Structures are given as structure tokens and as C-alpha cells.
């Protein structure tokens, strides 16, 4: 938690006075329980200088994503910290994230949750993205602070990835080691706790074993802005659509940097859920490749859709809302 100095109250800082901003995409493993969703949403409104600029829930996936934006205040380490890295001295987003995370842990039980999207915890993932003049190093400093906060307040294992990880380990590598992509229910879904008591790899922060199967574990990472784009394929055979997905993902020789999963999405549909780095691949390219491969197999593909807004839209929306409260 951030230190509190009773004799030195922190002054309110205006969004209009800053050029460095941070976005965090917080993924919660619940979208069907209205009480839990409401609790997390209430917590997100605890500071007017932090804005949920976008949110998206999916009933089949039983998953909810909140995209938050706020400012950060940074001072250079000047060599006093490890490798002289930047140190985030304050961001209102840190306290709001912790409030949302505590609300999620208080209202969601992973052991009774199921859905068509993989997950390892109630608070499944936090991905941080620098906005404005903020740097990857700024975002990594804040992400590591939040990871330590989560481990402290909830006693859950936290795995770092990308720029938050000392060696830049990818989120895919972390998840493969944890068995994240292996469904344990009905062949194409996930139910209850999926992690063993003794974890196959040591977390970067927090206990080396699962303290609570009701909470699970969490991943925290830092990357450039990522866009979320889903393509519905009218086919109920997930294995067939998974083969199409291999033609899209960068790891399999498809489009560079694209990460994609084939996920059950109703009785007659399987979605290809993609994460895109817009500087390296576009939704148009993904849509075209999927349609070409699926067409060769006689499968119909619907027009894909974004589940989030762009980086520029996120910052514009934040400034409009936050500055109105200044």
C-alpha cells in the first residue's frame, strides 16, 4: 500500500497539469453475477481523477474487462534505485485498482465460477500501458508496485510478464507454464480452480503456493497499447477453429505480435479472440486471414468487433471527464 503521512496531506493533483498518463486493463473472472459486478464498479468510482474509459463483459466467457486511465507523477531514479529506473511517486490509479481488486475478492469465489475463457484467478490479469508522454519504464515501475500490493493484501501468487518482468518474459510463456490454456470442463470451458496447491513455477511476487483456491493467482504486465478484436466463426467445433487461429497468431508464423484464442461462444459459434499491437497488425488483416482460411474449409465468418477503444480515444475521454472535475 502507498505510505500515509498524517502530518503531510497529499495535495490534489489536476489532470490538466500532467503529460504522463497510465492505462490499466483489469480483467475480472465474473460477468454473470450482478452483485459482484456492481461491487467492482462502485469501487472504480472512488476517485474522480481515475476514469473507467471503457468496459466490456461477456456472458459466455464470464469475464469482465475494465479499462482505467489516470495520470502519473514520476521522478527519475537518478541511480538511487535499481538500474536507475524511474520511480512512480504517485498515481491515483493505484488506490482505485486496489479497491476494485478487494471488491472482486470479497464477492467472487473462483471455485464456483465457470466460463468459456481461460483464467487462473478471480483477478486474472492487469495489463498496464503508457499513455501520453509516459514511458514503458514508468508503467513497469507502477505495475510492480501494484503487483506487490496485490500479493500483500490478498496473499495470492503474482506472475509478472513483458516489461514488468526482469527478463521480459511473455504473458504466453507464463500462461503455458501454468496450464492456463488447458480447459478442464466440457472439453472447451474452465470451471473452478485450475491451479495445483504447489505451483509448477515460482511466482515473481507473493506466496509460492496457492493460499486460496477461491482467489487463485494473478498476472501483471506492461506492454504498448493492445487492441482487443474478436472474430465470430459459425462453427461449434472449437478444435476446427483452433486450427484457423494458428494461421493468425504470430507465434505460429501468422501475423506479427498477434495473440489469438479459439473460444466457445454459444451453440453455433466459436470466436477467435485476438490481442493486437496496432503498430504491427490491424483488425482488417486479422479479419482477412480468418475469412480466407475459414472459406477454404467452407465455414462462414461474421464481421469481427472491437471490445475496447483506441489509445487516443481513451486519453481523450479521460481528459474530458477528469478535467470537468478540476
- For the chain, residues classed under CATH 3.30.990.10 are 20-224+311-323
What is the reported pLDDT for 323? 86
With a CB cutoff of 8 Å and minimum separation 6, the contacts of 59 are: 31, 32
Which helix (H) or strand (E) is 315 found in, with range?
A: helix 311-324
How many CA atoms does the CB half-sphere of 144 hold within 13 Å?
17
What is the reported pLDDT for 68? 98
Residue 60 annotated to the active site: no
DSSP labels, 184-252: -BTTTBEES--S-SB-SS--SBS-SB-S-TTTB-EEEEE-S--EEEEEEES-S-HHHHHHHHHTT-GGG
Q: Which of 4, 18, 117, 165 is catalytic?
A: 117
Query: Chunked in runs of 10, what are the mean pLDDT values of the chain (326 residues)?
Result: 40 67 98 98 97 98 98 73 61 97 98 98 98 95 96 96 98 96 95 93 93 95 97 97 96 95 96 96 97 97 98 97 81
What is the reported pLDDT for 201? 95
What is the reported pLDDT for 78? 53
DSSP code, position 16: G
What is the reported pLDDT for 80? 45
CB neighbours of residue 253 within 10 Å: 9
What is the reported pLDDT for 326? 62
CATH number of 227-306: 3.30.70.670
What is the reported pLDDT for 124? 98
CATH superfamily for 20-224+311-323 is Formiminotransferase, N-terminal subdomain (3.30.990.10)
- For the chain, residues classed under CATH 3.30.70.670 are 227-306
Amino acid at each position: 500500500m502507498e505510505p500515509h503521512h498524517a502530518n503531510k496531506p497529499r495535495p490534489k493533483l489536476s489532470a490538466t497539469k500532467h503529460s504522463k498518463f497510465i492505462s490499466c486493463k483489469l480483467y475480472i473472472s465474473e460477468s454473470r453475477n450482478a452483485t459482484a459486478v456492481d461491487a467492482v464498479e462502485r469501487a472504480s468510482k472512488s476517485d474522480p481523477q481515475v476514469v473507467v474509459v471503457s468496459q466490456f463483459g461477456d456472458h459466455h466467457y464470464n469475464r469482465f474487462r475494465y479499462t482505467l486511465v489516470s495520470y502519473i507523477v514520476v521522478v527519475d531514479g537518478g541511480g538511487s534505485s535499481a538500474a536507475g529506473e524511474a520511480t512512480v511517486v504517485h498515481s491515483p490509479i493505484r488506490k482505485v485498482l486496489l479497491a476494485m481488486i478487494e471488491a472482486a475478492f470479497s464477492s467472487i469465489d473462483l471455485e464456483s465460477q465457470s466460463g468459456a475463457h481461460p483464467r487462473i484467478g478471480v483477478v486474472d490479469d492487469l495489463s498496464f500501458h503508457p499513455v501520453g508522454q509516459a514511458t514503458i519504464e514508468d508503467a513497469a515501475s507502477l505495475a510492480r508496485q501494484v503487483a506487490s500490493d496485490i500479493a500483500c493484501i490478498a496473499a495470492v501468487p503474482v506472475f509478472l510478464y513483458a516489461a514488468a518482468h526482469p527478463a521480459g518474459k511473455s504473458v504466453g510463456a507464463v500462461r503455458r507454464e501454468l496450464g492456463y490454456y488447458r480447459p478442464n470442463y466440457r472439453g472447451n470451458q474452465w470451471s473452478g480452480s485450475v491451479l495445483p496447491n504447489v505451483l509448477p513455477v515460482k511466482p515473481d511476487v507473493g506466496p509460492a503456493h496457492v493460499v486460496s483456491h477461491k482467489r487463485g493467482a494473478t498476472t501483471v504486465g506492461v506492454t504498448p497499447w493492445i487492441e482487443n478484436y474478436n472474430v465470430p466463426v459459425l462453427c461449434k467445433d472449437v478444435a476446427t477453429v483452433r486450427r484457423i487461429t494458428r494461421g493468425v497468431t504470430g507465434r505460429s508464423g501468422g501475423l506479427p505480435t498477434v495473440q489469438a484464442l479459439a473460444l466457445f461462444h454459444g451453440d453455433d459459434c466459436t470466436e477467435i479472440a485476438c490481442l493486437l499491437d496496432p503498430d504491427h497488425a490491424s483488425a482488417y488483416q486479422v479479419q482477412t486471414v480468418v475469412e480466407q482460411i475459414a472459406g477454404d474449409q467452407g465455414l462462414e465468418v461474421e464481421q469481427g468487433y472491437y471490445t475496447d477503444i483506441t489509445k487516443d480515444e481513451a486519453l481523450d475521454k479521460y481528459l474530458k471527464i477528469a478535467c470537468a472535475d478540476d
